[in-house]
Copies of this chain bind each other. A is one copy, B any other.
Amino acid sequence: MIQPNLPDSKLPRVVIVGGGFAGINLAKSLRKAAVQVVLLDRNNYHLFQPLLYQVATAGLEPDSIAFPLRGIFKKQKNFHFRMAEVKSVDAANNLLETNIGDIPYDYLVLAMGSNTNFFGNKMIEEHAIGMKSLIEAVQIRNYVLKQFEESLLFTDEATVKPKLSFVMVGAGPTGVELAGAFAELRKYILPKDYPELPIHLMEVYLIEAGPRVLAGMSEETSRKSKAALEHIGVKVLTNIAVKDYDGLTLTLSNGETLQTQSLIWSAGVKGMSIPGLPEEAMLPNGRVQVNDTNLIKDTNNIYAIGDIAQMINDERFPKGYPMVAQVAMQQGKQLGKNFCNVLKGKALKPFKYKDLGSMATIGRNRAVTEFAGIRLSGYIAWVAWMVVHLLNLLGFRNKLVVMINWVYRYFTYDRGTRIIIKRGAANIVKLRQTIYQADPQVPQITQTP
């Protein structure tokens, strides 16, 4: 019979759901605490999401931005990991229901992060592809490379153009960085790899419903970023929303249409809440309402940190903190400290967000960063971007492999990992099927008879 088989302990048990930035920082900060730490995740690795777009565009191998969770905590005695799907919370009985059995907790911390938000547009949800998981990024790489290969097999523009048109929706960091990487593919890879391809047919679009790209940053930075993107050949459409998409024809809010077989959706995320939480705490955006110590509304021992937590205690962020890695890391650490305070009988400290600024890279030698009012752009910003990301990447091996890929790419203009590990799916609907077939919601455990 399947059961979590967690070791008995007299210490209070803190169950953390999700091994992202929030979850691992919390678990680490409980290293010395007199608690039993139980981390659950559907995957066995921590994913460094900021570099997902480089996996999707054949710049990095998937393994280099994933770090085995057991590896991170192998020295932490009070830590226990289980690979599991969380189903729901039984708050009344302090039980977490999962596909590997019920797990009793003293403190429960939800850190499941966020998922792609299609804002209820079923047509787009069915035909577009999001980029939040490693398998999605790998499948996008397979799919994009396959579009290039297939483009050689047709002579009529009407067929080739949609295969070579790549549309990012949403001009946040992900959309901007993806668009920049696609522009680089066109400039440096295609002419060498596909001399026979009508390169002029390849288009890279970045579509943003709002007035500017990188809306989280300053007007000036937005302007510079847009200019930089257009300079490398990205068609940036602002104040234009996507109305509909059938897998080939993309209809825009201004009535115009685009023909594309590749629509990558980075226009929004939503919290990944689970059943069993108090009605009042569940918000329409999938996040849960927490107080300034990350305690979920109307609960006394269930917390939420990172993307999934909506905390409003800062006039700079009236709608809650942005769903970014910085907030997740800081909330994880802070909650860890607070658990230690509780155990020592001390008072809890409310969360204060230290905004360390933000950055985005726009293709080779170009990035924008903002930190404490200081705005950098161009080469210096690009170097800063690389340093910051390398430092934050977990694991010495991963750091080295990523650095080598970057150095190699810098000098050769090449992208080493442009391989189709499985031949990509035939179309974007099949692509989504492969992903979800590959990553099913149902538990998949066999017990021998």
Contact = CB atoms under 8 A, between A and B. Distances in A.
A420 B67 CA distance: 10
B68 A193 contact: yes
24 contacts: A3-B155, A4-B153, A44-B149, A44-B419, A45-B420, A62-B421, A63-B421, A66-B419, A68-B418, A82-B152, A82-B153, A100-B153, A101-B153, A135-B421, A150-B445, A259-B448, A261-B448, A397-B404, A397-B405, A398-B416, A401-B401, A404-B404, A423-B439, A437-B437
A162 interface: yes
A426 interface: yes
Contact of A70 (B193, B259, B447): B193
A135 B422 contact: yes
A248 interface: yes
A327 to B, nearest CB: 25
Contacts of A192: 70, 74
Given A5-B196, A61-B61, A159-B448, A134 B423 contact: no
A196 B7 contact: yes
Contact of A45 (B3, B42, B419): B419
A153 B45 contact: no
- Max count, chain B CB within 10 A of own CB: residue among A1, A61, A439, A440: A61
A71 interface: yes
Interface of A: 1-5, 7, 42-45, 61-64, 66-68, 70-71, 74, 80, 82-83, 100-101, 134-135, 138, 145-146, 149-150, 152-155, 158-159, 162-163, 192-194, 196, 248, 259, 261, 395-398, 400-401, 404-405, 408, 414, 416-423, 425-427, 430, 434, 437-440, 444-449
A2 B194 CA distance: 17
A71 B154 contact: no
B261 A153 contact: no
A324 B146 CA distance: 30
- Max count, chain B CB within 10 A of own CB: residue among A4, A68, A146: A68
B62 A64 contact: no
Contact of A421 (B134, B154, B426): B134
How many identical subunits does the complex contain?
A: 2
A194 B427 contact: no
Contacts of A70: 192-194
A445 B146 CA distance: 9
Nearest to A414: B71
Contacts of A135: 421-422
6 closest A-B pairs by beta carbon, nearest first, are: A61-B63, A397-B416, A45-B419, A70-B193, A426-B444, A422-B438
A98 to B, nearest CB: 11
A218 to B, nearest CB: 37
A420 to B, nearest CB: 5
Contacts of A45: 419-420
Given A74-B192, A135-B422, A154-B447, 12 more contacts: A44-B145, A44-B419, A61-B401, A62-B63, A66-B419, A66-B421, A68-B193, A68-B419, A80-B196, A83-B146, A83-B420, A150-B446
